[in-house]
Amino acid sequence: MPKLSNKERMKIQRQAMPEQESAVRRNNFSEVNLGFTEELARMEAERCIQCPKPTCIEGCPVGVKIKDFIALVAEGEYLKAADKIKEDNMLPAICGRVCPQEEQCEAKCVVGKKGESVAIGRLERFVADFERQTVGIREATLKPKSGKKVAIVGSGPAGLGCAGDLIQMGHDVTVFEALHDLGGVLIYGIPEFRLPKDIVKAEVESLKKLGVDFQTNAVIGLTDTVDELMSDGYDAVFIAVGAGLPYFLNIKGENYNGVYSANEFLTRVNLMKAYKFPDYDTPVFHVKGKNVAVFGGGNTAMDAVRTAKRLGAKNAYIIYRRSDAEMPARKEEVHHAKDEGIEFLFLANPLEFLGDSDGWLTSVRLQKMELGEPDTSGRRKPIPIQGSEYILDIDMAVIAIGNGSNPIIQKTTPDLQYTKWGNIVVDENTMRTPKKGVFAGGDIVTGGATVILAMGAGRKAAAAINEFLNSSN
Amino acid sequence: MYKIIDAEFIAPNVRKIIIEAPKIAKKRKAGQFVIVRVNDHGERIPLTISDSNLEEGTITLIVQGIGWTTQELNSLVAGDFILDVVGPLGKASHIEKFGTAVSIGGGVGTAIAYPTAVALKQAGNYTISIIGGRSKEYVILENEMNKVCDEVFVTTDDGSYGYPGFVTTKLQELIDAKRKIDFVLAIGPIPMMKAIAEVTRKYKIKTVVSLNPIMVDGTGMCGGCRATVDDKTVFVCVDGPEFDAHKVDFATLERRNRTYREDEKDALQRHSCKSEEAILKAVNEG
């Protein structure tokens, strides 16, 4: 392609992401987004005006050299582009899919100030997929062995990010996972149609090839405590257990049959493959032809409601107490959900679940809300409208209003510092806890956040652990 | 992969399975459980650890074949492997010197009451156990209980062995005989635990039950095992499994445990058709 002027670049339309037709995809679990072709990727890369002082990088929690990798894409140097991304992001195929780019890098894109921003996330995904599909994820070079051992607790994005860096720095790394499969929320939480499990498996496999040891069925705190890991010869421990204790609404009737946490519903379907029951032994509520309500407005709520639709729900509702504008879910996910026929009930607050004499959920009593002044989160606060209560018939409810912190580490490691919500207190630059050799990061520190922030925390911890190990010779 | 060292039926449909799991054997305390997944299509089910052997590095599970997964588990023999065993999960039984402690086991519940009875004895309690079964062949661990308890009473519903009647009847007899009872542990089917709670409530005897809800991860992540205790929601996997019997909402527990009853029937039926097909195929192929 001849060299374009910035004016010409700005004229190119943002390339749309090819996706499965909504009428087709709402009946299957295959990935919704199909990914850019080479042509689309290069055209999109040409839209980047290669700012002398790029601001996109400021929007990236891990500082990916966006301008540089996009220039390589424009030149057709996709593998070099992959290398460039991986200098800062260990999991590009995953982050290219699940990062909220519209609030991060793309929100800061200069092109986006006048028109639509460069589709950075789609390009990142393209580059990572190109590498994996053509030559496979290439092995990084390892530094000579340091003779030090690190235990990582949890195989989610924080744990994987930390493991990838530490193994390259020459340390022995063992990752302990409570479940029987690896990837944490990437495997049990995010559905196949948004993040294919083969991609997570490929990332885990590439870490195994580098020598990372993974131990499943190990609940740290119970199977081994943090102190036992230290006395077993680990020189440092990184705690990355995630949030993982679902909040409920704490309203009447929440223990009726048919009321699930999003974690349980998604785990049954994703990890345990309940959608293939009885070929797989784990059952889940028979959604087909039924009315399902998901409470919450985040990405997990979208994942749950779209899963319910795919399982054949007649009506699948999102019930959210604020309005469209306050929903924390990614715009793309909301857009996909609407295309798939999800109904959104905004400004509706659940007061009580109602059930039949056998204990099965039959309906929910809702109250209409209106928006008042902004609250501490900066979002307008929902206020109940008196006398606006109504009943909605539903057969299944999924509560997706976030997670508290899991108590197992806290109960068994009392000498760490915890907030009143049970989050582990760390130095935010080094991820160090006050306990020598113990670091923590990801959702157990921040509360429920994003994949990229967790991975970034894992990598920050890896750098600090490396420094700690080298200085403790 | 976790190797089965030994497996035998100790009552109709009830199998004692000894599994190599040295780490769990070392760590487990009375009252704790494991989550087991038999194979890669399997579901995750919680099973209380009945016993362990530190030297051999083994744990003992006693499994009643009710649904497809427990029946599949009970079809395994020594030398077979279980894909996943994770634990020890849950809180250990609260053990102290109460004075006289009565451990009550109904059916396969005796297997769960047994390790706590051992711990109660070790803590210096005068230990009585009441173990019941539908009929003689359903009474399990009588010898084991005899070894650790000061007194053991056996009851059978049909009177074919021991005292005729239910475990509640025997407990009431002890109370009526003015025996001093400071603590009761009751483990068995929900109606039995509920009945025991009603007996001891009147006399304000501290009573603990071990709950058996449906679980998935067993570590607090899914909330599927939630139960109502003292009008509050608890997660049995991390807050329990043992709770004050006088505060448990047994009706809700019983209802929630029926969530997948139709699926369980369905799975059993399909699997039994499949195994019939497999047998026919094997016969046809000589």
Q: Do the chains contact at A250 and B233, CB–CB below 8 Å?
A: yes
68-107 of B, contacting A, C-beta below 8 A = 68-69, 83-89
Q: Which residues contact A5 (CB under 8 A, 6 or more apart)?
A: none
Nearest to A222 among B88, B255, B256 (CB): B88
Residue A105, pLDDT score: 93
Q: Do the chains contact at B222 and A218, CB–CB below 8 Å?
A: no
pLDDT category at A95 given cuts 50, 70, 90 is: confident
Q: Do the chains contact at A178 and B256, CB–CB below 8 Å?
A: no
- Mind telling me how many Å the CA of B69 is from chain A's nearest CA? 8
Contact between A161 and A90 under an 8 Å Cβ cutoff? The reply is yes
Residue B277, pLDDT score: 62
Residue A313, pLDDT score: 96
Look at residues A264, A315, A299 and name the one whose alpha carbon lies nearest to residue A285: A264
Residues of A in contact with B216 (CB under 8 A): 264, 267-268, 272, 282
* Separation of alpha carbons A310 and A270, rounded Å: 12
Distances in Å between the Cα of B204 and the Cα atoms of A139, A222, B127, B207, B247 are 66, 34, 19, 9, 12
In this structure, which amino acid lies at residue A430?
Answer: T
Put simply, whether B232 touches A (Cβ < 8 Å) is no
pLDDT digits (tens, 9 = 90+) for B231-279: 999 999 999 999 999 999 999 999 999 999 888 888 888 777 666 665 5
Residues of B in contact with A406 (CB under 8 A): 219-221, 238
Is the previous residue joined to A278 through a cis bond, with omega within 30 degrees of 0? yes
337-366 of A, contacting B, C-beta below 8 A = 358-359
CA angle, B108 then B111 then B112, to 5°: 105
Which of B75, B217, B275 is the best residue to mutate to test the A interface, defined by the most A CB atoms within 10 Å of its own CB? B217
* Separation of alpha carbons A149 and A20, rounded Å: 45
Nearest to B256 among A180, A255, A267 (CB): A255
Q: Do the chains contact at B219 and A216, CB–CB below 8 Å?
A: no
Nearest CA in chain A to B85: A217
Distance of CA A171 to the CA centre of its chain: 27
- Mind telling me how many Å the CA of A89 is from chain B's nearest CA? 28
* Separation of alpha carbons A253 and A259, rounded Å: 9
Nearest to B224 among A178, A250, A264 (CB): A264
Residues of B in contact with A263 (CB under 8 A): 221-223
Residue A177 vs residue A7, higher pLDDT: A177
Residue B286, pLDDT score: 46
Put simply, whether A219 touches B (Cβ < 8 Å) is yes
Residue B281, pLDDT score: 62
Mean pLDDT on B15-26? 96
Contact between A269 and A307 under an 8 Å Cβ cutoff? The reply is yes
Q: Do the chains contact at A223 and B87, CB–CB below 8 Å?
A: yes
How is residue B63 written in tokens?
């499994």
pLDDT greater than 50 at residue B212: yes
Nearest CA in chain A to B32: A222
Nearest to B42 among A268, A281, A359 (CB): A281
Residue B262 vs residue B205, higher pLDDT: B205
pLDDT digits (tens, 9 = 90+) for B101-156: 999 999 999 999 999 999 999 999 999 999 999 999 999 999 999 999 999 999 99
Is the previous residue joined to A92 through a cis bond, with omega within 30 degrees of 0? no
Using the 8-state DSSP alphabet, how is residue A114 labeled? H
Put simply, whether A312 touches B (Cβ < 8 Å) is no
Put simply, whether B46 touches A (Cβ < 8 Å) is no
Kindly report the pTM of this predicted structure: 0.92
Contact between B101 and B186 under an 8 Å Cβ cutoff? The reply is no
Contact between A205 and A170 under an 8 Å Cβ cutoff? The reply is no
pLDDT greater than 70 at residue B47: yes
* Separation of alpha carbons A58 and A55, rounded Å: 5
- Mind telling me how many Å the CA of A409 is from chain B's nearest CA? 11
Give the β-pairing of A149-153 and A172-176: parallel
Torsion of CA B47, B51, B13, B11, to 10 degrees: -150
Q: Which residues contact B282 (CB under 8 A, 6 or more apart)?
A: none
Torsion sign across C-alpha atoms A299, A126, A214, B38 = positive
Taking 3-state DSSP, the helix, strand and coil percentages for chain A, each rounded to the nearest 5, stand at 35, 20, 45
Nearest to A406 among B69, B219, B226 (CB): B219
Q: Do the chains contact at A406 and B83, CB–CB below 8 Å?
A: no
Nearest CA in chain A to B22: A223
State the SS3 of chain B.
CEEEEEEEEEECCEEEEEEECHHHHHHCCCCCEEEEECCCCCCCEEEEEEEEECCCCEEEEEEECCCHHHHHHHCCCCCCEECEEEEEECCCCCCCCCCEEEEEEECCHHHHHHHHHHHHHHCCCEEEEEEEECCHHHCCCHHHHHHHCCEEEEEECCCCCCEECCHHHHHHHHHHCCCCCCEEEEECCHHHHHHHHHHHHHCCCEEEEECCCCCCCCCCCCCCCEEEECCEEEEHHHHCCEEEHHHECHHHHHHHHCCCHHHHHHHHHHHHHHHHHHHHHHHHCC
Q: Do the chains contact at B216 and A267, CB–CB below 8 Å?
A: yes
Put simply, whether B223 touches A (Cβ < 8 Å) is yes
In this structure, which amino acid lies at residue A76?
Answer: G
DSSP H or E stretch at residue A399: strand A396-399
